[in-house]
Amino acid sequence: MKGENIAARLLAFAADVVRQCRELPDDPSAKHIARQLVRAATGGGANYEEARGAESRADFIHKLGIANKELREALYWLRLAQEAALVVNGNLNALVREANELVAILTASIKTAKQREATSCAEARSWRTRDGGEPGSWYLCAPSE
């Protein structure tokens, strides 16, 4: 199924973040960062799954954008945990690298989907008329196309 590889990577990323957060210190700032990080990292994959079931290309682009924002937020919390030296017996570099790669993949997917949407809209305008009449009354491309 299309997108299965990305979905699997997002799931693995979220699981790795959850495991890493269990290793963070037991102090208020670390708990806050862990909660935010787990929420953002798991939200990325959940929103990607929502995008895969989108009802239209516009809906797909919107939900993919939300997934991308969640991953960018997770990346922020990972970098903060690095800067604050919250991880003593581990290394966040692999998680940061994976988050960067996932953000790049989703960003490219959004760009491609937007280009395809623009292309399909231009093609739709080139032959559809509102009432079958003169070419001057073209339909504007509907979001579901």
Q: What percent of the chain has pLDDT over 90?
A: 72
Per residue in 50-106, pLDDT tens?
999 999 999 999 999 999 999 999 999 999 999 999 987 667 999 999 999 999 999
Rounded to two decimals, the pTM is: 0.79
What pLDDT is recorded for position 89?
A: 66
Per residue in 5-33, pLDDT tens?
999 999 999 999 999 999 999 999 999 99
Domains and CATH numbers, the chain: 4-127 (1.20.1440.60)
Ordered alpha helix ranges (H), 25-130: 28-52, 57-83, 93-127
Residue 120 contacts by C-beta under 8 Å, 6 or more apart in sequence? 57, 141, 145
